[in-house]
Chains A and B, each alone.
Chain A
Amino acid sequence: MPYTVRQGTSQHKGLVAAASAVGLLVLLALPYITLPGEKWFGNPTGQILNWQRTLAFAVAILGLNLLIGFSGQISIGHSAFVGLGAYSTVLMTNNSVPFYLALPLAMLLCFAVGCIVGLPALRIKGLYLVVVTFALGIVFPTLIEKYESFTGGSNGLKGKSSLVPKAPFDSMFDPRDRVDPLRYRYYVLLIVAAIMFLTARNMVRSRAGRGLVALRDNATAATINGVPVPIYKVLAFGISAAYCGAAGWMLMARDAQPFASQGSFLVDLGITLIIGLVMGGVATIGGAIPGAIIVVIVRYLLEQLTTKKTLLGVDMNWLATRQGKGGVVSIAFGALLVMFVFVLPGGVMDGLRRLRMRFVRIIPQPSWLKDVGGTPPAAVAAAEADQVMANPLG
């Protein structure tokens, strides 16, 4: 039954192109599709806002994946970098910095801070990064409180400008004619996310990327083979911080009235990112997307659930009126995470891959291997192992 395809052939390329085209179409059409069931998914505007949020989370999870998946170091405090990106964006745009420029600047800032935080890791071994990132996540909200004059403290920081459609280069094409601001912002975020994903993919496939994987699997062997381990550790940290900063920018860019509040950047955001990462698939690029969908959309649905008075005829008022109902989401996600670790440790990406393998098997055809006739069974077995980088969750 499985249809075998050799990598690099026109068949293979055709399949990839078709799949990509479908994916692209869905992404482009999304703001114009309204999911049925307003009670659950929200009104059309709310839905688009949720997709925007998903894109931002996907970028953040991607950054975290670069750190954990490829250097093996875990961090539950990257919420601090998302927050840093968000707050710096608002601060900059409130001071006449063009919104688009705020993105690279915020990323640069986060990269710098990330590298500084990661620098002691050159000397301090073991769990330093784990501890310090956790500490960072906890400290960040207190820093917001402390510098109230800057950050608005617990009242939050209002942005005075937002991302608005502009006519580029005085041309005939004026976005304001085609899309409304909300959808415009969605497309901007989509483009930003696409750039981040493509960059990540190229980084991973590059020499540097392979160095990071080597680092994760065996630091000693990596060092012997000339991989500058400590530098890569620090870089991995900086890059992941930059990605989270970009996500922070995206969260601010999506609103007509950007508003940064410390309550959105607590450690539980960091934990949420980890949950999304694992469920999407550790050490995968694409896993950030399903991961983000789960933590944003499923969370939204769960929150809706806690507001419903009845569910399929069952009385749910006890939940809707309970003071501590916010805990339900945490419990559900924790339980979901446990299920994933037991049943599908490779995350959604692994599940999709297995599903795909029932229908299509891709046989690796490395460029250095001359055209081999037939399909050696070893190659087919290798194909199964090759598709995703070795999963540290095993």
Chain B
Amino acid sequence: MQARAEEIGTRGLMITGGVVVVLSLIFILMDGPGLFWKRFLDGLGNGFVYGAVALALVLIYKATGIINFAQGSLAMFFTFIAWVLSNEQSWPVWLAIVTAMAASALSAAAIERVLIRPFDPSNHLPITIITIALLSVIDGLALYIWFADPKGFPSPFPSTKGDVVTIFGARVFYAQIGIWSTVLITTVLLSLLLNRTRVGLAFRAVSSNIESSRLVGVHVGRTLQFGWALAAAIGTLAGCLFLSSGTTQLQPLFMSQILVFAFASATIGGLDSLVGAVVGGLLVGQLQTMIGGYVKFIGSDLVLATTLVLIILVLLVRPNGLFGSKRVERV
């Protein structure tokens, strides 16, 4: 019997909320509310991106029980495709992104069919190894095709100097708001897909009990394939959005750091909760910005390390993540 997910979720929220409030008050006292607000808004951008990638990771983990190490590489590769389409072929940015997402979905579906399906879904190790192999191949391919020098990535949102809006005294670019809303809309759509459609029901069934899914006539392989495709598309979207904010340049390894934070977000959120993934992402994004801003003796090099340490601390307090459900193992 499982503890009810709702109960854990509420407690998780309350604890997170409590800690967040306390820390925020401390920070506001330190440097004033204006700076705090600005940093908060900065952190949102990254947070949503981490949350989006975490969504992709959790999708696959929920359904198959494996960690897709190639998630970042796939996203990176198809972000490059989007760049090629919009830069060299002069497509409108939005179209380039959507096309790249579709291409990534098709490729992931092919990968699942050819490389993953031959294996027994309950045997996790070989499939995980395959994702590591994919990571290697895709990274190498990207390096071979596009080399290592950084490139700029255009934004799909109106983003000239004047496209700013002021919220409570902080200047926020339309582009930033665009990123937040895109990820939010994606999450909502995903939730609707999973909870209100037949395909979503099949997916949730497979995530819950593979054998029984077969017994009711669900095509497990095709359903998982769908999950892989979805995860790839979301990852690609996240990659494109991240680059469009201008914080980093496009180069073959740009997703690695994001991937680490995404893993951390997913783990904090509780690896089998979609909501948790996004909330975890927002939390990690805030941690990263706040630490970078407030804890001054930690230079930019150490932000990554410190954030991870903090995440470990959170996990020590709530081992199943904030929204994860505790499963009692039957012997």
The contact size tier of chain A is: 35 or more
Q: How long is the Cα–Cα vector from A145 to B176 in the complex, in angstroms?
A: 30
B305 touches A131 (CB 8 A): no
B210 CB to nearest A CB, Å: 17
- B316 within 8 Å of A by Cβ? yes
B147 touches A324 (CB 8 A): yes
- B263 within 8 Å of A by Cβ? yes
Q: How long is the Cα–Cα vector from A123 to B321 in the complex, in angstroms?
A: 12
- A358 within 8 Å of B by Cβ? no
A322 touches B312 (CB 8 A): no
Residue from A123, A139, A220, A267 with most neighbouring chain B CB atoms (10 Å):
A139
Of all chain A residues, which has the CB nearest B141? Answer: A331
Residue numbers in B under 8 Å from A337 (CB-CB): 129, 132-133, 136
Q: How long is the Cα–Cα vector from A329 to B126 in the complex, in angstroms?
A: 22
- Among candidates B146, B148, B316, residue contacting A123 with C-beta atoms closer than 8 Å: B316
- A309 within 8 Å of B by Cβ? no
Of all chain A residues, which has the CB nearest B306? Answer: A139
- A342 within 8 Å of B by Cβ? yes
Of all chain A residues, which has the CB nearest B319? Answer: A124
- B29 within 8 Å of A by Cβ? no
Q: How long is the Cα–Cα vector from A131 to B267 in the complex, in angstroms?
A: 8
B267 touches A128 (CB 8 A): yes
B301 touches A324 (CB 8 A): no
A142 CB to nearest B CB, Å: 5
Q: How long is the Cα–Cα vector from A325 to B259 in the complex, in angstroms?
A: 25
Q: How long is the Cα–Cα vector from A322 to B271 in the complex, in angstroms?
A: 42
A326 touches B143 (CB 8 A): yes
- B139 within 8 Å of A by Cβ? yes
B129 touches A123 (CB 8 A): no
Instruction: Give a binary string over A163-181; 1 marks a CB under 8 Å from any B CB, 0 the rest.
Output: 0000000000000000000
Residue from A76, A138, A275, A326 with most neighbouring chain B CB atoms (10 Å):
A138
B301 touches A146 (CB 8 A): yes
A138 touches B134 (CB 8 A): no
Residue numbers in A under 8 Å from B138 (CB-CB): 334
Q: How long is the Cα–Cα vector from A125 to B272 in the complex, in angstroms?
A: 13
- Contact status of A220 and B329, CB under 8 A, knowing A271-B135, A274-B129, A337-B133: yes
Of all chain B residues, which has the CB nearest A332? Answer: B140
- B145 within 8 Å of A by Cβ? yes
Q: How long is the Cα–Cα vector from A220 to B208 in the complex, in angstroms?
A: 21
A327 touches B140 (CB 8 A): yes
B143 touches A338 (CB 8 A): no
- B164 within 8 Å of A by Cβ? no
A393 touches B129 (CB 8 A): yes
- B130 within 8 Å of A by Cβ? yes
Q: How long is the Cα–Cα vector from A328 to B144 in the complex, in angstroms?
A: 7
B141 touches A135 (CB 8 A): no
Of all chain B residues, which has the CB nearest A153? Answer: B301
- B25 within 8 Å of A by Cβ? no
A142 touches B133 (CB 8 A): no
- A369 within 8 Å of B by Cβ? no
- A291 within 8 Å of B by Cβ? no
A130 touches B308 (CB 8 A): no
- B248 within 8 Å of A by Cβ? no
- A335 within 8 Å of B by Cβ? yes
The contact size tier of chain B is: 35 or more
- Contact status of A134 and B260, CB under 8 A, knowing A146-B299, A220-B329: yes
- Among candidates B128, B140, B147, residue contacting A330 with C-beta atoms closer than 8 Å: B140
B40 CB to nearest A CB, Å: 24
A327 touches B139 (CB 8 A): yes
A324 CB to nearest B CB, Å: 4
- A333 within 8 Å of B by Cβ? yes
- B315 within 8 Å of A by Cβ? yes
- B10 within 8 Å of A by Cβ? no
- A143 within 8 Å of B by Cβ? yes
- A341 within 8 Å of B by Cβ? yes
Of all chain A residues, which has the CB nearest B142? Answer: A327
Q: How long is the Cα–Cα vector from A275 to B129 in the complex, in angstroms?
A: 8
- Contact status of A322 and B144, CB under 8 A, knowing A76-B69, A337-B136: yes
A52 CB to nearest B CB, Å: 25
Residue numbers in A under 8 Å from B110 (CB-CB): none
Residue numbers in A under 8 Å from B271 (CB-CB): 126-127
- A345 within 8 Å of B by Cβ? yes
- Among candidates A74, A268, A342, residue contacting B128 with C-beta atoms closer than 8 Å: A74
A392 touches B125 (CB 8 A): yes
- A323 within 8 Å of B by Cβ? yes
A138 touches B136 (CB 8 A): no
B144 CB to nearest A CB, Å: 3
A342 touches B118 (CB 8 A): yes
Q: How long is the Cα–Cα vector from A362 to B132 in the complex, in angstroms?
A: 36
Q: How long is the Cα–Cα vector from A79 to B257 in the complex, in angstroms?
A: 16
- B22 within 8 Å of A by Cβ? no
- B286 within 8 Å of A by Cβ? no
Residue numbers in A under 8 Å from B120 (CB-CB): 394
- Interface residues, chain B, CB within 8 Å of chain A? 61, 67, 69, 115, 118, 120, 123, 125-126, 128-130, 132-148, 256-257, 259-260, 263-264, 267, 271, 299, 301-302, 304-305, 308, 312, 315-316, 319-320, 329, 331
- Interface residues, chain A, CB within 8 Å of chain B? 72, 74, 76, 120, 123-128, 130-132, 134-135, 138-139, 142-143, 145-146, 220-221, 224, 267-268, 271, 274-275, 278, 282, 322-335, 337-338, 341-342, 345, 392-394
Beyond the given pairs A146-B299, A221-B331, A324-B148, 11 more chain A to chain B contacts, judged by CB atoms under 8 angstroms and listed by A's residue number, are A74-B125, A124-B315, A126-B271, A139-B260, A146-B305, A282-B125, A323-B147, A326-B143, A327-B141, A334-B136, A334-B138
11 example contacts (A-B, Cβ-Cβ < 8 A) are as follows A134-B259, A142-B301, A146-B302, A221-B331, A271-B136, A275-B133, A326-B140, A334-B136, A341-B133, A342-B118, A394-B126
